[in-house]
């Protein structure tokens, strides 16, 4: 199994999208990319911790390649809005790929270039591609939030 970590705005809808992918064996929502140790949702929402809301995906690369996860990432948020997704504003909602290996970094950069070349987005893509840091799991009530409430999505379509 391998891990992949993505920040694409509010983590609830993004997690739900990844959970539908064959070969994804687990997901967890949480916080990454900031300086605060063991941040809470309330702290991250102040936009002072430096953390992004992220989804950490555990997957079987024999079933689902990393590139397929990258496609889900690009399709489930607007990577052209700096520190914002829909009505959610702040650096915690930034578009980011936290890579876990040099190979993931190379593949993430290649996918970014492919997305740019499609011309799908009229504005510049602002997605960060940065080394993974410590992943801090969000509180239990955030895990599989939509699923627990019988909802399927809340993300912004692009």
**CA angle, 86 as apex, 10 and 113 as ends, to 5°?**
80
Residue with tokens 């895990």: 143
Sequence-distant (6+) residues with CB within 8 A of 79 are 8, 95, 115, 121, 125, 126, 127, 158
The catalytic site residues sit at 10
Are the CB atoms for 92 and 9 separated by under 8 Å?
no
Sequence-distant (6+) residues with CB within 8 A of 67 are 107, 111
């Amino acid at each position: 199994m391998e891990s992949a970590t993505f920040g694409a705005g509010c983590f609830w809808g993004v997690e739900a999208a990844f959970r539908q992918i064959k070969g994804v064996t687990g997901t967890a929502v949480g916080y990454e990319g900031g300086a605060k140790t063991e941040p809470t949702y309330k702290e991250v929402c102040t936009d002072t911790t430096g953390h992004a809301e992220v989804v950490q995906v555990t997957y079987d690369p024999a079933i689902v390649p990393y590139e397929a996860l990258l496609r889900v990432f690009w399709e489930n948020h607007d990577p052209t809005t700096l520190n914002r997704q829909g009505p959610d504003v702040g650096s915690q909602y930034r578009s980011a790929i936290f890579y876990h290996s040099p190979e993931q970094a190379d593949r993430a950069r290649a996918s970014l270039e492919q997305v740019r070349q499609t011309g799908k987005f009229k504005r510049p893509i602002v997605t960060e591609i940065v080394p993974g840091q410590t992943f801090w799991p969000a509180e239990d009530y955030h895990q599989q939030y939509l699923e627990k409430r019988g909802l399927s999505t809340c993300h912004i379509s692009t």
